Structure 1
Amino acid sequence: MRLLIRLYDGIVDLMALVAAIMLVWLMVAIVVSVGMRNAGIQPFAWLFTSTEYALLYMTMLGAPWLVRRRGHVHIELLTAALPEGVRRIVSRGIAAACVAICAYLALKGFELVQTNLARNDFDVRAYFFPRWLLTIAFPVGFGLMAIEFSRFVFGRELMHSGEAGIHE
């Protein structure tokens, strides 16, 4: 079981690394595109399209890692004011709601991928790109976020620390 957990954690870490590389690509692509425009040159069509794809993939690949690290946005003002026992219940309840929402979105994303495959949809802007390769990010990202939130529901750690303010 430990091997399976380590493998899963490695996959989530690898996805976060790919997201970080995409963030660097976005910076480079934007600088090159702006530089080309300032030089009076039309930027490559694939340059713009690749940044759009990177925004989607970067978000969906990095989100499970952010959930694990509690890097997502949440406000602890209310949970910090709660007694320990109540805070545990509220935190686990919020995490359970997050699991349900992410699982639902993963299901809808999977249905979208199936639709794209059945219709043989393509994104036909800069180049022909099978649309399912874009939409597969939704069930993968939301599915892994559901798993990560479930760790806060069933695991020892809580999603909310009970300390209001910035702690970095």
Structure 2
Amino acid sequence: MERDKKRGVERLLDLLGVGAGAVFGLIALATTYDVLLRSATGDTLAGLAELVEYTLFASTFLAAPWLLRHNGHVQVDFAVGALPERPRRLVRRIADGIGLLVCLVLLVYSVQVTWTAWRDGSIVLKTLVFPEWWLFAVVVVSMALLVLEFARRLWIGQVEPSGARDF
């Protein structure tokens, strides 16, 4: 049962990571099409800039737990990497603890903001119109998954970064 939960979370993170990559590719294609359309006809795709803005926001937040799982986040660890093994592991565990606490604070705050936007019926009113809480819910999901990932790293110990990786 525990193993199935672990696989389920890993699959969810993989889905979010692959989904974010696909969204970034679609954004590039849509933006290219829009530029060509504007150059050829003077027209543009209504709402595309907003859609790109919101999908970049969502994809970035939702890919963050996947990046953390795979040590794909930006690291400047020349000083930490130069430490002997025990102090290096301690520093990384402290960093994971700080990450956990920060994500917990952001999770609580984002839940409050999402709830308030839902309760008040706030909407985003631009070219695209939708409930504002949809945007904030992305942060809630991301922070919850980051909390789980930081807790996992603290529980089992962080896997050592293995240098630059291609995804």
What TM-score results when the alignment is normalised by the length of structure 2?
Answer: 0.90
Displacement after TM superposition at 1:75 (Å): 1.2
Which residue pairs with 1:57 in the alignment? 58
1:1-168 equivalent positions in 2, closer than 5 A: 1-158=2-159, 160-161=160-161, 166-168=163-165
Separation in 1, partners of 2:63, 2:71 = 12
The gaps in structure 1 that reach 5 residues or longer are none
Secondary structure in 2 aligned to 1:43? coil
Over 3 Å counting, the alpha-carbon distance change for 1:167 and 1:72 in structure 2 is closer
Question: Could you tell me how far 1:2 is from its partner in structure 2?
Answer: 0.5
State the superposition RMSD in angstroms: 1.6
Read off the aligned partner of 2:116 and give its amino acid letter.
Answer: T
Please give the per-residue CA displacement for 1:129-156, whole angstroms capped at 9, x wherever unaligned: 1111111110111221121122221214
Match of 1:63, as an amino acid?
A
Q: How many residues align?
A: 164
| Percent of matched pairs sharing the same residue | 27
Which ranges of structure 2 fall in alignment gaps of 5 or more residues? none
Query: How many angstroms apart in 2 are the aligned matches of 1:94 and 1:157?
Result: 10
TM-score (norm 1): 0.90
Report the Cα offset of residue 124 of structure 1.
Answer: 1.3
Aligned letter for 1:94?
A
Partner Cα distance (1:157, 1:114) in 2: 33
Q: Which runs of 4+ in 1 moved over 4 A?
A: none
Contact 2:58 2:138 in 1 (8 A): yes
Q: Secondary structure at the match of 2:47?
A: helix
* Distance in 2, Cα, partners of 1:135 & 1:92: 29
For the 8 Å contact 2:16–2:63, the answer to whether it is kept is yes
- Give the Cα–Cα distance (whole angstroms) in 1 for the partners of residues 87 and 140 of structure 2: 33
Offset, 1:93: 0.5
Separation of aligned partners in 1, 2:96 and 2:3: 23
Amino acid at match of 2:17: A
User: Is the CA contact 2:20–2:62 (under 8 Å) kept in the aligned structure 1?
Assistant: yes
138-147 vs 41-50, greater mean Cα deviation: 41-50
